[in-house]
Amino acid sequence: MSFLAKPKRGFVLGKFMPPHAGHVYLCDFGRAYVDELTILVCSLPDDPIPGELRLQWMREMFPSTRVVHCPEIVPQEPEDDPENFWPIWHDILKRYHPEPIDIVFASETYGHRLAAEAGARFVPVDEARTAFPISATAIRNDPYRNWRFLPGPVRPYYLKRVTLVGAESTGKTSLAAELARHYDTIVAPEYGRFHTEAFGSGATSPEDMRQIVMGHLAGVAAASLRANRVLIEDTDPVLTAVWSDTLAGSRDPWFDAYRDYPDLYLFCDIDLPWVDDGTRYFHDPAVRRNFHRATERELVSRGVKFVRVRGTPEQRRTIAVEAIDNLLRATNVRR
Instruction: Give pLDDT, residue 152.
Output: 93
CA dihedral (110, 115, 117, 118) positive or negative: positive
Confidence of residue 278 (pLDDT cuts 50, 70, 90): low
Q: Model's pTM, two decimal places?
A: 0.85
DSSP 8-state assignment for residue 13:
E
What mean pLDDT comes out for the span 289-317?
97
d(CA 156, CA 122): 34
Q: What is the largest CA-CA distance in the chain?
A: 83
Is pLDDT of 335 > 50?
Answer: no
Parts of the chain belonging to CATH 3.40.50.300: 159-329
Angle between helices 85-96 and 111-118 (to 10 degrees): 60
Instruction: Give pLDDT, residue 287.
Output: 86
Angle between helices 313-329 and 172-182 (to 10 degrees): 50
| Record: fold of 159-329 | Rossmann fold (3.40.50)
Average pLDDT, the chain: 94
Parts of the chain belonging to CATH 3.40.50.620: 9-141
Q: 150-184: per-residue pLDDT in tens?
A: 999 999 999 999 999 999 889 999 999 999 999 99
Instruction: Give pLDDT, residue 273.
Output: 82
Q: CATH: 3.40.50.620, 1.10.3720.10, 3.50.50.60, 3.20.20.150. Which one for 9-141?
A: 3.40.50.620
What string of DSSP letters covers 99-127?
SPP-EEEESSTTHHHHHHHHT-EEEE--T
Q: 26-46: per-residue pLDDT in tens?
A: 999 999 999 999 999 999 999
